[in-house]
Amino acid sequence: MPNTSFTELLAPWFDGVPEQEISGLSLDNRQIKYGDVFIAIQGYNLDARRFIAAAVHVGAVAVIADDGDTCGQFGVTFYNDVPVVAFPHLKSHLSEIASRFFQNPSKYMTTIGVTGTNGKTTVSQLIAQWIDLMGGRAVVMGTTGNGFLNALEPALNTTSSAVDIQQQLFVYKEAKATHVAMEVSSHGLIQDRVKAVAFDAAIFTNLSRDHLDYHGTMEAYAEVKLHLFTHYSLSVSIINADDEVGAQWLVNMPEAIAVSFSKSAVLVHQGRKLWLTFVSYSTCSVTIAFSSYWGDGEFTAPLVGEFNVMNLLLSLTTLLGLGYEKSALLNVAPKLQAVIGRMEIFHHIGKPMLVVDYAHTPTALEKALTALRRHCKGELWCIVGCGGNRDTGKRPLMAKIAEKFADKVILTDDNPRSELPEYIVQDMLAGMAVPTQAIVLHDRAQACEFAFINASNNDVILVAGKGHEDSQILVSGMIDYSDRDTVRILLEGKK
């Protein structure tokens, strides 16, 4: 880890800081090591300033304390000879402080931000795979984990804390990573967690209903996403022109690259563009042809579903915009792989096909079901639930979509958290035209087993909502659970 002085760290903001060598930053007093700076944030649920004494006791040699969001003044006090700096509006400067301590690591790699409601994980991992296949060393940061693709470490949030992000970037820079593909959530943007990340490129996948319990309105949600394209010095901006919000943004973004399923959608755009000219779907792959600013091309990739066609086009366009050679990208495309828990197929000959997908929004569920209909010769099953203590308005919408696009619907538990599962299912049933035709099995493993036993060999079973996750949050607490492991066991005939 880098070593610097407390004075140098805070020099851009305050020149009255005592000299003190420091060796780390920590937001958690329980993780303090000797030489660290304890950053005491006044959070939404917890005021870490209460733990300054405890942090000093275990080795903090300096403290930066949140002075709230008022027009306060910088100042220094001492606790047991340890300097405590009062820092106004600390949360909005935390990314810059951390970036300064870790020597601005994102400036030494090509950093790509991916935002949107759905597709962030797939796009970021496709980009990383493509870069690796082209001889680079790419890392991803997002929902399924952080790090090189063959050694992902679990992530608690889509976008980590401001300090963690800069520390991880420093580690990846030291490990000789050439590129970073980072999922950028709306929470990460509005809470300034990526404020000091030097993004080179940004991608907008789409916008649909999600996180309205936090943002309030779709307009506010969209405005936060737009921040990634208006507050950073990007060399490349890639926008899904088929999305209504993306199309609106492109009117004022002539420098952006527009991506679409049709030429007509990008014809009015004055800047660079890429559009689909042909697509065919096989059981486990897609073949895509396109026209673009860089010329025409065609490739096959082992992914399924129409929305994965857009994910592939967005990923390809980003790399073309960053200067990669078109022919070289297309040559290695067949070596790309599906992302775990994202339309991940599990199939043995003579048995129903099971597909595990992270779809947990109405739009994502509709896209997953319509995509699988192309691959289904029998009946299409949908196993789906909704999380507790989250946007209740999408519950009836999720069930309505499952009823409309699937032949058989099983409502189950997702992450009930502190809510009673029965109440969550009641909310979902309210969205169905014929709720009595839905099967309710709260235990996810039992729901998967019921569908598997009762499905024919030509049926397809979508297990939606949890994707790559390996735990479930119940009223009683967290338990180990994986949809991927459950369907593997069913296919292998193990109990």
Judge whether 392 is annotated as a binding position. no
118 is in an annotated binding site: yes
Other C-beta atoms lying within 10 Å of the C-beta of residue 474: 17
DSSP label of 84 = E
Q: Tell whether 390 is in a known binding site.
A: yes
Q: Do the annotations mark residue 318 as ligand-binding?
A: no
417 is in an annotated binding site: yes
Residue 107 in marked binding region: no
CA–CA distance, 430 with 392 (Å, rounded to integer):
12
Q: Which of 307, 439, 455 is nearest to 385 (CA)?
A: 439
**193 annotated to bind ligand:** yes
d(CA 282, CA 329): 21
Asked if residue 121 belongs to a known ligand binding site, the reply is yes
Count CB-CB contacts under 10 A for residue 453: 9
User: Is residue 50 part of an annotated ligand binding site?
Assistant: no
Environment class of 22 (CB within 10 Å of its CB; exposed 0-12, middle 13-18, buried 19+):
buried
User: How far is residue 334's CA from residue 331's CA, in Å, rounded to a whole number?
Assistant: 7
Is 484 known as a binding-site position? no
120 annotated as a binding-site residue: yes
Label residues 67-106 b or e (16+ Cβ within 10 Å = b): beeeeeeeeeeeeeebbbbbbbbbbebbbbbbbbbbebbb
What are the angstrom distances between the C-alpha of 315 and each of 253, 286, 321? 19, 15, 10
d(CA 205, CA 239): 7
Name the strand (E) or helix (H) holding 264.
helix 263-266
Neighbouring C-beta atoms of residue 172, cutoff 10 Å:
25
- Show the beta-strand stretches assigned E in 184-285: 201-204, 236-240, 257-260, 273-281
What tokens were used for 203?
């991608």
Is 185 annotated in a binding site? The answer is: yes
Question: For the residues of 122-158, what is the DSSP string, one character each?
Answer: HHHHHHHHHHHHTT--EEEEETTEEEEGGG-B--SSS
- Give Cα separations from 462 to 127, 239, 421, 444 (angstroms): 26, 29, 21, 12
The whole-angstrom separation of Cα 358 and Cα 5 is 44
> Could you tell me the two tokens for 478?
């967290």
Annotated binding site for ATP: 116-122
List, as residue ranges, the binding site for meso-2,6-diaminopimelate.
Answer: 390, 414-417, 465, 469
Binding-site residues: 27, 116-122, 157-159, 185, 191, 193, 390, 414-417, 465, 469
